[in-house]
Structure 1
Amino acid sequence: MPANFLLDPKAILTAADGSIATKSDILGLLSTCFAEVYEFDPAAVLAGLEEREKLGSTGFGRGIAMPHARYAGLKRPVAALIRLPEPIDFAAADAMKVELVFALLSPTDAGATHLHALAAMSRMLRDDALLERLLAAETSDTLRGVMTDAGERDAA
């Protein structure tokens, strides 16, 4: 995994059921994931993600969204990765529906650190071969394996 942020393997998952149908559903799932894995307040996470989305969609393009926010009390950025079962409209600039959501929470006072973590995520997702493998992953275990392989390749 990249050194710019922590991505706990438990925060890498596939949303296998049909309960995720909207952008709001995605943000809710992310807040639950961050709460369960990193022990954050889900309401505070959701509020931060929703506030950032009000500034403009974090739909990155190419079927990817990168929701992000600041969160008080963090020492370093943390991430979550979700592969959606069906593409969902996220109001991305390229108008493509989102299938992959890579979210980031950063310390409230970490301006440059936050930008470096977002840049690291962006670089990873611009790798066509990696993106293809992530989009093909049908289970959380497969998705975790792809990310572990990517992290090992980056470390070499």
Structure 2
Amino acid sequence: MDLSSILRPDAVKVISETSSKKRLFQRLGDAAASAYGLDSETAVEALLERESLGPTGVGNGIALPHARMNGATGVTGVFFKLERALDFDSVDRQPVDLVFALFAPEDAGVEHLKALALISRTMRDSSVCSKLRANGDPTTLHTVLTEGVSPKAA
């Protein structure tokens, strides 16, 4: 598994401003609907439900919201670079500017976990994050993400 199999180029966006975590989730749901045909409302509800279990802000300005949901036919991702960092209740209390959301079918099992591990590994790479923060072109961001870290067994 590699990120190019999870993340389509049209699911990578630069967001100039968003006012809240809930609004961010709505935009993620809209992007998932546009790129993958998922139901936006179902995606938002699934993200909010997962977030209620504990924040998915993992620190260093990174959030990895993820959810299993009805209607998803495969594991898919949406990446947002936020031009203005957003309070996300992250573990380190720092605002978030890099958001990689993952959507998976209810019965995805190990595929969901492998994808989440791959995304986490990629986003922990400081050189990848530096490149993401230094670029504002969605095509470049997609390239950085999909070529950033060599896939390893998850």
One-letter amino acid matched to 2:116: L
2:15 is aligned with 1:15: yes
> What is the count of residue pairs matched by the alignment?
152
CA–CA separation in structure 2 for the residues paired with 1:46 and 1:13: 17
**What are the equivalent positions in structure 2 for 1:129-140 lying under 5 Å apart?**
129-140=127-138
Question: Which structure's residues are more often helix, by fraction?
Answer: 1
Residue ranges of structure 1 left out of the alignment (5+ in a row):
none
Q: Deviations over 1:55-110 (max 9, x none)?
A: 11010111000010012243421001000011100000110100000000011012
2:56 is aligned with 1:61: no
Give TM-score scaled by structure 1 length.
0.89
The equivalent position to 1:99 in structure 2, one of 97, 100, 124, is 97
Q: Deviations over 1:4-43 (max 9, x none)?
A: 9511110011113x3x121111101100000111011111
Counterpart of 1:30 in structure 2 is 28
Over the aligned positions, Cα root-mean-square deviation in angstroms equals: 2.0
Range with bigger deviation, 5-14 or 92-101: 5-14
> Sequence identity of aligned pairs in percent?
36
One-letter amino acid matched to 2:40: P
CA–CA separation in structure 2 for the residues paired with 1:154 and 1:93: 26
Give TM-score scaled by structure 2 length.
0.90
CA–CA separation in structure 1 for the residues paired with 2:58 and 2:4: 19
C-alpha deviation, 1:147, in angstroms: 2.4
CA–CA separation in structure 2 for the residues paired with 1:109 and 1:142: 33
Q: 1:5 to 1:48 in 2, by over 3 A?
A: farther
Question: Which structure's residues are more often strand, by fraction?
Answer: 2
Runs of 4+ in 1 over 4 A off after TM superposition: none
**What are the equivalent positions in structure 2 for 1:40-59 lying under 5 Å apart?**
40-59=38-57
Q: 1:51 to 1:2 in 2, by over 3 A?
A: same
Residue ranges of structure 2 left out of the alignment (5+ in a row):
none
CA–CA separation in structure 1 for the residues paired with 2:39 and 2:120: 26
One-letter amino acid matched to 2:77: A
